[in-house]
Chains A and B, each alone.
Chain A
Amino acid sequence: MSAEAVATPKTVPAQSITLSRLLAQPEVTAGIVVAVLLLVLVFGSPFFLNANNLASLQTSIGPMVLLAIGMTVLFVTGTFDLSIGATMALAGLVATWLLSAGLPWQVAMIGGVGVGAIVGVFNGVLVSYVGLNPLIVTLGALYVLRGLVDLMIGGGRPQPWMYVSGPEVDPGYYAFGSLHIGPLHIILLLAIVLALGADVILRRHPIGRLLYLAGDNPDAARSLGIPVRRLQLAGFVLCGVLAAIAGMFIAARTGLASRHIGSGVELQIIIACLVGGASIAGGRGSVLGSVLGVLFITLVNNAFNLFEVAAEWQKVVVGSVLISVVVSDGWRSLRRARRGK
């Protein structure tokens, strides 16, 4: 089973493409679901193609794609990170705080990225080098970071320094939230470029192969001399940095570094990655699949808003989707194991 999985993400040789094999590729299934959802939205709602709706879709998809890239790399190497939402909030807050202290926007953003990198190093060292369970470590990090956010804000109403625009504040940071080239927001462009780059690296570059090997069979990878720990640590740092950028973008976009930034987003991103073919067991998943997963989650979100269904039902649908994805994945690998024998 491992040899087969190592050769991923594209295992199907050109000559043997059959319909059932094609459908077994998670990216294909996810792509079909997204396409159907798009058709329903385009023809079902007069507001979907509205400029405002498209703009808000871009600014919600952009940060989610950044998060999904980091999480996919972690899933591929066989681990995950629950602290991304809290990292977003803290990075946004720290950057805004630096900004309101009168520093230029570049310094503020470097500070925010620094927060993400520190969180990544913390998680990565404890998980990969000390060997603690990623669930516990990143959950603990989630608590600590959310607590730090609350301590910085001090409870109650947003304070003046938490706003990213004002007379004494460098306008560059606010511009990051609203800048667009043609109809495309800067964050979406950044997300597309990074996603394409990450997808190509995972599929084609030797580093990508190492990551899949490290996640698929860490012991074998280690005995082959692959620096599994360092790769995982790098994955955590990447994840933290991307989360920080996403958090700073949302603060800049909404004009306020709120404590609610990124709350609950970790589970949404995990669902997006699983829908796109990643597995908690490691060694599987692709950025393309996870991006399709993100599209799925945001479009479902959008559909519920446009069709004015209560937000609670959205959770019911997303939860059911996750359960069916997890169960069908289990069912498929059971069948594969039986055939193998």
Chain B
Amino acid sequence: MAATDQSMSVPFNLRGFAASGGILVAAVLLLFVFLAVTKAQFSAYNNLYSLAFALSIDAIAIFGFTYVMVLGEIDLSVGAVYALAGTLTGWLLKVGGLDLYPAIVLALCVATAVGFANGFLVTRFKVNSLMLTIGTLILVQGVVGVLATDLVGGVYPRDFRLLAKTRWFGINATIIVAGFALAVLVFLQLRSSLFRKMYLVGENSETARIYGIRTDAFKLWAFVASAFFAGVGGVLTASRLTHASTDMGVGLEFTYVTAAILGGASLYGGRGGVGGSVLGLLFLALILNGLVMYNVNPLAQQVAIGVLLICAVLVDMIINKKEGA
């Protein structure tokens, strides 16, 4: 649509992107200041640090997912793959008798293979990714259930439990890794021609094909990346949980869709980015943290997320007049 009258040098709708991004930054700042001023326990170092730690793991897992959305597809199996990588690592350690790193590598390979299968089927057979990944979601959830029942009752080995607690320079390694990866990806989004092409594919894959871009390859690798990053996040989360749980990752895909859309992504592709998605996650985390601080019934949290999701899409649509989703 818009790609036809915009040249290659303007990869995405800058105005719309800035407008929705700006609103989110302002909302996050306002919420932050509001909570800091009104609730002393919010600005306590421990609270902020644990927010940052939890956010860092979720952020790693949303990177690839965001690019699938940029390309106009969706990966609803992200939460199940996240649980698969974590639970499988534990299973390989306890039942398979592997060492920590071989187990993690193997589990990540399996998770990535699921992403490859998603991407291959979507691009080869031109199927709807929403429907296909609902199938993957259910299948992988079943496998996770089988693995988790095998592990019922025990905690993971000590070295695995300590993984997420690894510290570099006095802070959690996950925060450093997430921050570094985020910086690299945001830099690439702004500078790399590869990423620019990706936005073009997402905005209008027919036009992109005319420009000679291999649209299917982008989609395939985005699904692979989505599963890989979800897998890394899942391994870290499993380490943090210390034991297998069938609830792990359930509903995560919906939180991620909400965060990505809050962060400027659209279900029709061509917009969004990892910076926005992480901001979206931060916004959701602040809302939930604030609700807890204000002793709002925790049961109202779901209502809040649902209302936010719909409002985000409405605001996005008003800003982008018809163009958005």
Contacts and interface: CB of A to CB of B under 8 A. Distances in A.
A102 to B, nearest CB: 26
B310 A322 contact: no
Interface in A294-315: 310-315
Contacts of B131: 270, 274, 280, 322, 326
Chain B interface size, as a band, is 35 or more
Nearest to A139: B254
A271 B313 CA distance: 27
A260 B307 CA distance: 21
B188 interface: no
B314 to A, nearest CB: 7
Contacts of B310: 126, 132, 136-137, 140-141
Nearest to A322: B135
B177 to A, nearest CB: 30
Contact of A320 (B139, B149, B257, B304): B139
B172 interface: no
Interface string B290-317: 0000000111111111110110011001
Q: Interface of chain A, helix or strand or loop or mixed?
A: helix
Contacts, number: 146
Contacts of B121: 323, 326-327, 330
A329 to B, nearest CB: 7
Given A140-B309, A148-B303, A280 B138 contact: no
A147 B257 CA distance: 18
B30 interface: no
Contacts of A315: 138-139, 141-142, 145
B143 A316 contact: yes
A5 to B, nearest CB: 16
Contact of B306 (A144, A280, A311): A144
B213 interface: no
Contacts of B305: 143
A131 interface: yes
A130 interface: yes
A251 B132 CA distance: 32
B128 A326 contact: yes
B59 interface: no
Contact of B302 (A133, A150, A311): A150
Contact of A330 (B127, B136, B149, B304): B127
A312 B150 CA distance: 12
Interface string A108-150: 0000000000000000001000111101110111111111101
Contacts of A314: 142
A146 B302 contact: yes
Contacts of B130: 135, 280
Contacts of A280: 128, 130-131
Chain A CB within 10 Å, residue with most, of B140, B145, B317: B145
B168 interface: no
Contact of B299 (A147, A312, A331): A147
A132 B314 contact: yes
28 contacts: A135-B74, A135-B267, A136-B257, A136-B309, A136-B325, A140-B309, A140-B313, A142-B306, A144-B306, A147-B302, A147-B306, A150-B302, A267-B134, A270-B131, A271-B134, A271-B135, A312-B143, A312-B144, A312-B145, A312-B146, A315-B145, A316-B146, A318-B138, A319-B138, A319-B140, A322-B139, A326-B135, A327-B121
Given A312-B149, A322-B134, 9 more contacts: A135-B74, A135-B130, A135-B267, A139-B306, A146-B302, A318-B139, A319-B137, A319-B138, A319-B142
Query: Which 9 interchain pairs have the tightest Cβ spacing?
Result: A319-B139, A143-B306, A315-B142, A312-B145, A147-B303, A322-B135, A147-B302, A319-B138, A330-B125
